[in-house]
Amino acid sequence: MSRVRRILFGAILPLAWACMPAERPRLPPLLPLTMPPGGAATPPVLGEGEVAQLLVLPRRTESGGPLGIAAEQQGLRLLDLVAVFSRDGRLEFSDLPPVNAKAVLRYEKLDEASVEMSSAQGRFQDGAFFPVANVLAALDSGYVVEVRFGGRSRRIVFRPLYDAALYAPFVRSGREGEAGAAGVPGSAGETGRAGRDGQDGKDGERGKPGQDGADGEAGGAGGAGGRGGDGGPGGPGGRGGAGAPGPTLRVEARPIYSKFYPDEELVFVQVIAEYRERGGGSLGVETKNYIFHPRQAFLIRTIGGSGGEGGSGGDGGPGGDGGRGGHGGRGGDGGSAGAGGGAANGGRGGDGGHGGKGGDGGHGGDGGHGAAGGPGGDGGDVEVHLFGPDSFMRGVRETLQVESLAGSGGVGGRGGAGGRGGNGGRGGDGGRGGSGGFSAGGGRSGSEGKDGERGRDGKDGERGRDGRAGPPGPPGAPGEVRWRAGGRGG
C-alpha cells in the first residue's frame, strides 16, 4: 500500500492541484494490510456525473522503461493504477489486484469490475490482456487500450515488441500413426478330471460255531487324476500405423516498416502450413506470421509424424490344474468267530486301498509376439520465398533456420507373457484298513487291516515361453527445402 501511495502522490497529485480547488482533498485513511475489511470496507460508489477526472498509470518494465507487448504474450497486466477525482474533491483509486488476491487488498478501493478495458488488438479477461495472434494488427497502431470509468475514458498505446526470442519456434508435426491392436490372450486349459474312488472291500463272513471268522477284503485302489489341459497361445499384436507426413510449408520473408521503429527495416515472415494424410488427402491449412528485428535467429521446422506403437502380444493362457487322485477304498472288516463251539479266532480286517496319483498340471501357453512399430512419416517439403533488396535477403538466409525432419518409427510392441503352468493334482487319500473280527471261546481277535498309502501329487505344468518384442518401425525420409529469391508473392 505504501508503494501505491508514493506513486499516487508523485505522479497524480501534481496534475490534481492544477485543476482542483485549493482546499486539501479528503483522502481515505491508510490501513495496515493485516486489518480485515469491516462493514465500511465497501467500494466507493461514483455515478457518471460525479467523476471530474480519470487518471490511468500504465505499468513499466523492471528497468523503468515503457511496457511493450509481444503477440504471443498472454495474460498481461497492463495497468498499475486507476484513479478518479470526484467533483466534490474526493480521490478514489484502485491498483487492480489480481482476481484471487486477499479481500484486504481491495479495502475502500474502486471496484475493478467497474473499470472497463477494451482493445481492438486483443481482449481482456479478469483484468489480464490477451493479444490477437496476427502481428499486423498492431503494426502501425500499436496496442491501443481504452480505459473507461464513470463516463470518463483514457486511451493508452503500448508499442509492439518484435524480438524473435519472444516467439515460440514454429515446429509442426504430422499426425502420429495409430497404435496396433493388442493380441488376444490365450485360452485357459481345462482342469483334469478327478480320479475314481476305489471300491470298499467286503466284510468277512461270520464263522460257524467253533470256526474262525473270514478275513475282510482289501479296498480297491483309487484311480489316477486326469492331466490338466495346456493353455492356448497368445495372439500376435497388430502392426503400428504409419505416421502422416509433416506439413508442407510455404514461407515468405519480406521487409516491413513500423512507426514504432522508424530507423529499422524489420523482417516480416509468413508461414502457410498444409497438413496431409499419408494417402495425400488434405487435413487443413494453418497460417502464422511474425515480425523480427533484422538478423535475429528463428527456427521453422516440419517433422513427419511418428509411427504408431506396435501392438503387444497376447499373454499365454494358464495351464489347467491336474485332477485329484481317487481315494482308496476302505478295507472290509474281518468276520467274527462262531460262538458255541470252543475257541475260535476273529477274521483279519482287509487292507485299505491306495490313493490314486494326482494328475499333472497342464503347460502354460506361449505368449504372442509383439508387432513391429509403424513407419515414421516423411518430413514435409518447404519452399522459402525471399523478397526485398539483396542485403535483406542475404541477412534472412543467414539467420532463418528452416528444416524438414523425418518422423521416427514407432516403438515395437511388447511380447506377451507366457501362461502359468497348472498346479498338479493332489494325490488321493489311502483307504482305512478294516477292523478285525471278534473272537469266541477264548480265541484271538482278528488284526486290523493296514491303511492304504496316500497317492503321489501330480507335477506342476511348465510356464509358457514369453513372446518376442516387436522391432521398431523404420523412420521416414526428410523433405526438401528450397530457397527462392523473389517469385510469386503472397
Question: Do 84 and 150 share a structural domain?
Answer: yes
Q: Point out which residues pair with 440 in neighbouring strands.
A: 344
Whose cell is 506513486? That residue is 7
**What's the average model confidence in pLDDT over 36-56?**
66
Residue 10 vs residue 117, higher pLDDT: 117
Domain count, the chain: 2
pLDDT tens digits, one per residue of 335-349: 787 777 778 887 897
Ordered alpha helix ranges (H), 100-238: none
Least confidently predicted of 1-10, 227-236, 449-458: 1-10
Instruction: Tell me, yes or no, whether 9 lies in a domain.
Output: no
Does 18 have pLDDT greater than 50?
no
**What's the average model confidence in pLDDT over 33-46?**
56
Please report the pLDDT score of residue 209 as a whole number.
82
Question: Do 124 and 200 share a structural domain?
Answer: no
Q: Point out which residues pair with 384 in neighbouring strands.
A: 251, 483
Please say whether the beta carbons of 79 and 97 come within 8 A.
Answer: no
Domain end call among 120, 141, 158: 158
**Cell numbers standing for residue 300:** 521453422
Rounded to the nearest integer, the mean pLDDT of the chain is 85
Question: Do 323 and 215 share a structural domain?
Answer: yes
**Cell numbers standing for residue 301:** 521446422
Domain end call among 158, 179, 210: 158
Q: How wide is the angle at C-alpha 211 spanned by C-alphas 206 and 214, nearest 5°? A: 40
Question: Do 387 and 317 share a structural domain?
Answer: yes
Question: Do 180 and 139 share a structural domain?
Answer: no
Question: Do 177 and 129 share a structural domain?
Answer: no
Strands (DSSP E) contained in 63-109 are 68-69, 79-86, 91-94
**Dihedral, 339, 345, 347, 351 alpha carbons, nearest 10:** 150
Q: Length of the chain in residues, anyone?
A: 490
Residue 20 vs residue 23, higher pLDDT: 23
Q: Count each helix (H run) and each strand (E run) in the chain, helices first.
A: 3, 17
Does 23 have pLDDT greater than 50?
yes
Please report the pLDDT score of residue 488 as a whole number.
42
Single-letter amino acid, residue 358? G
* Radius of gyration in angstroms for the set of CA atoms belonging to the chain, rounded to a whole number: 47
Instruction: Tell me, yes or no, whether 285 lies in a domain.
Output: yes
Does 486 have pLDDT greater than 90?
no
Instruction: Tell me, yes or no, whether 6 lies in a domain.
Output: no
* pTM, 2 dp: 0.71
* 3-state class (DSSP) for residue 263: coil
Please say whether the beta carbons of 350 and 219 come within 8 A.
Answer: yes
Question: Do 230 and 144 share a structural domain?
Answer: no
| 68 Cα distance to chain centroid | 38
87: DSSP letter: T
Instruction: Tell me, yes or no, whether 35 lies in a domain.
Output: no
Question: Do 259 and 400 share a structural domain?
Answer: yes
Question: Do 449 and 301 share a structural domain?
Answer: yes
Other CB atoms within 10 A of residue 207 CB: 23
Range of the domain at 89: 51-64+74-158
In 3D space, the residue among 49, 185, 71 whose CA is nearest the CA of residue 122 turns out to be: 71
Please report the pLDDT score of residue 315 as a whole number.
94
Question: Do 169 and 145 share a structural domain?
Answer: no
Does 4 have pLDDT greater than 90?
no
Instruction: Tell me, yes or no, whether 39 lies in a domain.
Output: no
pLDDT tens digits, one per residue of 406-436: 999 999 999 999 999 999 999 999 989 888 8
Question: Do 351 and 399 share a structural domain?
Answer: yes
Single-letter amino acid, residue 467? G
Please say whether the beta carbons of 261 and 300 come within 8 A.
Answer: no
Please report the pLDDT score of residue 12 as a whole number.
52
**Cell numbers standing for residue 371:** 508387432
In 3D space, the residue among 464, 460, 458 whose CA is nearest the CA of residue 364 turns out to be: 464
Helix then strand then coil, % of the chain, to nearest 5: 10, 25, 70
Start-to-end CA span in the chain (Å): 53
* Percent of the chain at pLDDT exceeding 90: 55
Does 6 have pLDDT greater than 70?
no
**What's the average model confidence in pLDDT over 206-218?**
79
